[in-house]
Amino acid sequence: MRILLVEDDNVLADGIARALRAENFAVDHAGNGLDGGHLGATELYDAVVLDLGLPIKDGVTVLREWRAERRDMPVLVLTARDGWSEKVAAFKAGADDYLTKPFRVEEVVLRLRALVRRAAGHAGAILTCGKLVFDAQLGTFELEGLPLKLTAFEWRVLSALMLRKEVVVDRADLIERVYEGDADVDSNSIEVIIGRLRKKIGPTMIETVRGRGYRVTATGA
Ligand code: CA
Neighbour tally for 202: CB within 10 Å: 16
- Helix (H, G, I), strand (E, B), or coil: what is residue 41? helix
pTM (2 d.p.)? 0.95
Residue 6 and residue 41 share a domain: yes
**108: domain range?**
2-119
Q: What's the 100 CA to ligand 1 centre distance in angstroms? A: 12
Q: What's the 33 CA to ligand 1 centre distance in angstroms? A: 10
**Structural domain ending residue among the three candidates 98, 119, 140:** 119
How many distinct structural domains can be found in the chain? 2
Q: What's the 208 CA to ligand 1 centre distance in angstroms? A: 44
One-letter identity of residue 41 = A
Q: How far is CA 211 from CA 63, 171, 173, 208, in A?
A: 35, 9, 13, 9
Alpha helices in the chain (DSSP H): 10-22, 33-42, 59-68, 84-93, 105-119, 152-163, 171-178, 189-201
Residue 141 contacts residue 133 (beta carbons within 8 Å): yes
Residue 103 and residue 8 share a domain: yes
Query: CA 30, CA 104: separation in Å to the nearest integer?
Result: 20
Q: State pLDDT tens for residues 169-213.
A: 999 999 999 999 988 888 789 999 999 999 999 999 999 999 999
Q: Tell me, what CATH number does 148's domain have? A: 1.10.10.10
Residue 141 and residue 78 share a domain: no
Q: State pLDDT tens for residues 56-91.
A: 999 999 999 999 999 999 999 999 877 789 999 999
